[in-house]
Amino acid sequence: MNKTFFTTKLIPVIAVILCCILYLSRYDQIIIAALILLLASAIEYKKDCFKSLGFQRKRINAKSLLVTAPLFGTALFLFYYYIMVPGVTHLTGQPMDFSAFETYTGNLPATMILLVFIWISAAFGEEIVFRGYLMRQFTKFFGSSKISLVVNILIFGFIFGWIHAYQGISGQIITGILGMLYAMIFHIRKDDLWFNVAAHGFFDTTALVFIYYGWS
Round to whole Å and give the CA distance between 178 and 62: 25
Check if the beta carbon of residue 185 is closer than 8 Å to that of residue 127: no
pLDDT at 4 over 80: no
152-191 pLDDT, tens per residue?
999 999 999 988 888 999 999 999 999 999 999 999 999 9
Give 144's DSSP letter. S
Higher per-residue pLDDT: 163 or 84: 84
Share of the chain above pLDDT 90, in %: 76
Round to whole Å and give the CA distance between 166 and 124: 20
Residue 31 amino acid letter: I
28-73 pLDDT, tens per residue?
688 999 999 999 999 999 999 999 999 988 888 889 999 999 999 9
Sign, Cα dihedral of 198, 203, 206, 211: negative
74-83 pLDDT, tens per residue?
999 999 999 9
The residues spanned by each domain of the chain are 59-212
Q: What's this model's pTM, rounded to 2 decimal places?
A: 0.93
Through-space distance between the first and last CA atoms of the chain, rounded to whole angstroms: 54
What's the rounded mean pLDDT across residues 17-22? Answer: 83
